Amino acid sequence: MLAKRDKVKSTAFSDFVRHASSREKKKFFDKIVKETIQEQKEMIAKANSDGCLS
């Protein structure tokens, strides 16, 4: 028999995932991906300028 799981309080993010339209989710995740790519490029550029990457 399976044990019951305790209910946890919803977060703004979980509410967004449950209730946002596909268009809103796509727009949000596209923005996050673009920001992440930019941060990674900056991190790689800094590592190159510091001589960490050869």
Could you give the C-alpha distances from 16 to 2, 6, 13, 49, in angstroms and in order?
29, 21, 5, 40
pLDDT digits (tens, 9 = 90+) for 7-51: 889 999 999 999 999 999 999 999 999 999 999 999 999 999 988
pTM over 0.85: no
- Amino acid in the structure at residue 7: K
Q: How far apart are the first and last CA of the chain?
A: 56
